[in-house]
């Protein structure tokens, strides 16, 4: 199961890459690998992705938790 969150500045993805590892990307830019979907989503929600355009934005609504992301069957 992958997760997608669309914003006005890009589409975030959380994709499972192994048993307990998840990659986060936005617009095909790699942002990091996480031990859980929840931790990955939490960093996107809190603006701690390392992508300045997102992390410093004050006007774009952020997903509160993974329940706000669209689940994509893979």
* pLDDT recorded at residue 62: 93
Measure the CA–CA gap between 48 and 34, rounded to whole angstroms: 13
Tell me the pLDDT of the chain (74 aa) as tens digits: 999 999 999 999 999 999 999 999 999 999 999 999 999 999 999 999 999 999 999 999 999 999 999 999 98
* pTM for the full predicted model: 0.93
Predicted local confidence at residue 74, as pLDDT: 80
* CA 8/CA 67 separation, integer angstroms: 19
pLDDT of residue 66: 94
């Amino acid at each position: 199961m992958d997760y997608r969150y669309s914003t006005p500045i890009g589409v975030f993805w959380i994709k499972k890459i192994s048993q307990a590892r998840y990659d986060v990307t936005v617009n095909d830019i790699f942002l990091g690998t996480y031990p859980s979907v929840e931790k990955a989503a939490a960093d996107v929600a809190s603006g701690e992705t390392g992508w300045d355009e997102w992390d410093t934005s004050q006007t774009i609504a952020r997903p509160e938790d993974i329940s706000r992301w669209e689940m994509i069957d893979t």
